[in-house]
A and B are shown apart, each in its own frame.
Chain A
C-alpha cells in the first residue's frame, strides 16, 4: 500500500474478510453449541437407560431370590391386575397350543370348518409345517393347503377324508414326516460331508431317489463310489433298495467295503452312516 493512500476496494476487501471471519466464527460457535447439546442429550439418555437397566436387574434379582426361598408363589399374585391375570391365561393357553404343535398337530376352528397344521420333525429337530384348511359343513372338503404337489394328497383324501379324518391326517403326517426326514438327511450330508461328495447329489423332488458319488480312501488312494438309494416306502425315511458300486479297476478289497457301506445305508440315516464310516476309516 502506498503510504498515506487508502483504497476503497482494499477497505471493502478487508471488511468482507472480517465479515466472513465473523460469520465463520459464529457458525463454528453454533456448531459447537449444537455438539455440546447433542453430547448432553446423549449423556442424559445413557444415564436414563442405565437407570432403567439397573432397575430391571434389581427386579429380576428379587424374583430369583423369591424363587429360591420358595415361600409361596415366586411372583406376588397381588401384583397382577385383573387385565394382567387374563393376559396370563391367554399366554398360558398359547403355550399349551405350542406344545401341541410339538406333538405334530395344530388346529384352529374356523367359521366354515377347521384349519389343521401338520408339523414335521427329524428326531429332535423340527422341520417345516404344512397346513390344511378344511370345510366341514356338509361333506369334508379341502379348501386350501400348503402340501407340496409331489405328495399324493388327492389319493389319501379319496381314501380317508370322508370316513376317518384322524386316519387321513395320520397317513398324511406319516408321508410328510418321511419326506421331511429324507430331505433333512440329504441336506445334512451336503452340509457336513461335502468334501467327500463328488459332484452334486441327484435327487427327485420327493427325495425318494438319490444318486451320488463319494470318495473312499484306501491305502492313501481315493476311489469313487457310486450309490443309488431308492426309498420305496413313502412313509419311511430309510431306503428299501441300495446299490453301491465302484469302478471296475478298483481293488478287490473295496467290494467288501462297498457291501459294508450298502448295509449301513440300509440301516442308518445317511448322515449317520457317513459319520460312522468316516470315523472307522
Chain B
C-alpha cells in the first residue's frame, strides 16, 4: 500500500451521541486511589487468567468434540449477551472534572483492552457487595478454629496420622535384644525346600514335624541374643517385609507364615522399652501387609477351574458375601485358620489371627465377631500391660476396619486394660521399669498412644450413657490418670463440660504416673469446643486454676495457660483475661534466665493466641500486662510477633484510626517487619509483608489533620524504603490526601490548600523514582499528572507527564531483559492506551506547541523493540489515531473543570490542524503497514489480520469522513476480514449493525454493498 491515504476526521457531537445511544454514566468501581487497589487488581488478573484458561479449555473441547461444539457455543453466546452491552466509539462521552470519583479513563481503557469485542462489562465481580478478601480472611479464621474442632469431635484421628507421630516420638538410643534365630535365613530356606518336596511320604513328613518340634523346644532354651541399634532394627524389619514379599511371590507360604510368626513374636520383646511403641508400629505394618497378601490370595482362589471341564469362573465382586464363595476358597481359608490356631505362642497367635481376620468373610457372615470377641478375651493372657495395651490397639484397629459400629470390644478393651493395669505396680514389672532406668511417668508415656487410641475408639460418637458407664467403671477400679486423660479427651465435649465439676476431683485423685497438666489441657480444649453454663464458667476456672497455679514446672503451667487464656477470652470478661495474664507474668518473673529461655516459645504462643483471638489488637497493646508479656519474648520472636499484630490490626473491619499512640505502636511493629525482609527473602514473603504494611497504612486516618498525615507519610517513606509496593502505596496515599484537601475546600483551593496540594504532589515526585517497577512508576506518574491538573497545577502536571515520557527511554533499554517480556509489553500497551485517553484533556505547551508530549513519546517509542508477532504497535497506534480524531473535534468529549484543553486553546488554528492531519496520516500508514505485515501465511496470522482490520474499519466508520479514498480502504479492509474464517463474528455483526444505523448516503451504500456480498 504505497498510496498515501489522508485521514480526514469526522466531526462529531458527543452530547447528541450520548443521548442517541443512551449512554449512562456509571460509578467507578475500581481506581488506584481506592483502598486495597493492589490486591483487587491482583485478584482481577487472576480471575482473568482463569477465565482465559477456561475459555481455552472450552475451545479445546469444542475442537475435540465437534458434536458438542454447537452446544457450548450457544451457551457462550447467551452468557456474553447477558454481560455485554454494545459500545460505540473509542471513549466514554463524559466530561470529567474529577477522575477519582467518576468513570475513570484508565478503567474504561482497560476494559476495552480486556475484551476485544469492544464491550463494557456491566457486572464487575468486585461490585457484588461483599469484599471477597474479607470473606477469605474470615474463612481462614474459621478453618483455623475448626481445625481444633475436627481434632476433638467430628474427625477421628486416623491410624496413619497416629502412626507417624508415634514413630517420630518414640525413638531409642540403646540397643534392642533379638533372638538370633530370627536372622537365620539359610535354615529357613533349607526347611522350606525340604517341605516343598512333594515326593515325601506321609510318614516321613510326620516324623520331620516331630523332629522340628523337639528342635524348637531345644533352641528355645539356648537362645542366642543379639544386640541391635534402632537403625539396625529398622533395617531388619524392612528385610523381613522384603523377604516376605519374595517368598510369597515364590509361593512359599509356609516360610512366609514362619517369618510373620517371628515378626509377631517380636512384639512380646520389650527389651528396649522406650522404643516399644515404634516397634509396634513397624511390626504392625508388616503384619498388615501379610494380611492383605493372604486376603488377595484367597480371593484369587475363588476363581475356580472346573476339574472336569477346565473353564474358569469370574472373580468375586467387591461386595461379595460368603454364599457365593466356592468351596475351594473356603477350604483354603480353613487351612489358614487351622495353621494359625496351632501357633504355640500366645502373642503370635493373637496378632496373626487378627491379621487374617478379613478372610472370615469368605466363610461366614458373622464369624469375625465371634472370633473378635474371643481374641479380645485372649489378650487377657498377655500379662505385660504395655504389650497387652498395644495388642488391644491392634484389635480395635482391625475391628474398626470390619465393624466400625461395634462398641463391645472397645469397652472390653478399656475395662481389661484398667484391670490388668493393677499388675503394673507389682513384680516383675516394677523391677523391669527400674532396670531400664525410666520413671513411672516415662513408662506411662509409652502407654499413651495406645490408650489414646483405645479411648478414642470408645469415646468416638459415644453416648452419654456410655460415658457414664465408662466413668463409673473407672472410678470403681482405677486411679489411672492416663486413662482419665483419654476418656476426657475423646468423649463428646458436651458430656465433659456438663459434668466437669464432678470430674475435677477425679483428676486430683488420679495417680501421678501421668502428668496432670495434660489432663487439664485436654479439659481446656473440650471447654473451648463446648460453652459451659454461664453460672459455672467462673467456678470452673477457679477450681482448675487453684491446682494449675500451683504447678511447679513452668512448662506445664504455661501449656495449660495457653488453653485457658482462650477460655477467658471466649467466656469471661476482659477482667479475667487480665488477671490470668498477670498470673502468667508473676510465674515468669520468678524464673532464672535459662529457664525463661526454655519456655519462651510457650509464652510466644500464648501471646499469639491472644492476638489472634482479640477483636481489637490495639486494645491489647494498650494493656500493661500484655506489653509486659511481650517484652519477655520480643527479642526472639520480633518478626513473627510483628506479623501477627499487623495481621490482626488490618483484619479487623473497623474504621481507620487516628490515635497517635496506636499508630505509633503499630508503626514500630511495621518497621520491625520491614527490617526483617532483605534482598534474599522470597518474593512471596516480600509481597506478604508489603501487603501487611499497606493494610496498616490504609488504616491510618487523621481526619482533617491532613498535614499531620503528610508528615506521617514522610516518616513512613523513610522507614519502609525497601518495599516497592509500600512506596507505591505511600505515593497513592499522598495523592488521595491532595484530593481530600481538594474536597475539603469544596473544589476551590485557597492559597494555603493549593500549596499543601502541591506539597503532596512534590512528595510523590520525590517518592516515585525510588520504585523499581517501571509499570508502577508509569502509572503513578500518569495518575499524579491527573491529580496535578485537577488541583490546577499545570507546571507539576507537565513535569509528571514528561517524566513518564522520559521513563520510556529507560524502558527501551531494559525491556528485553525483563523476565516476563510479553506480560511487560502488554502492560506497556495498556498504559499507552490509557495515556492516550488522558492526553485528550492535557493542554499543549505554550512554547513547545500542542503536540510536544506526543512528539516526545513517539520519539522514544521508536527505540522500543516490540517482540515479534505481537500487535503492540498496532494497538497503541490505534489508540493514538482515535486521540487525533478527538483532537480534531470542536468540543472534546470530556474536560477537567478549570483546565482549558486543546479544543479551546487551539480553536481555529490552521497550523494545529495541519499538524494533526500529518500525524494522523502517518499513523494510519503505519497502522496499515502493520496490518499487512500480520499475514504470515498461517491461519493464526490471518485471523489476527482480519480482526485488526475489523478494528480499524470500525474506527474509520466512527471517526473518519467517508470520502472516496476512505471508501476504497474500507472495502479493502472488509475484504481482508473475509479472508479468515475465524473472525470474531459477533463483533463483525455488531459493526454491520452500527453501520446500518449511521446516517448518510454513503454509509447506506456501503452497508448494502456488504450485505449483498454476504
A and B assemble together:
no
Interface residues of B (CB under 8 A from A): none
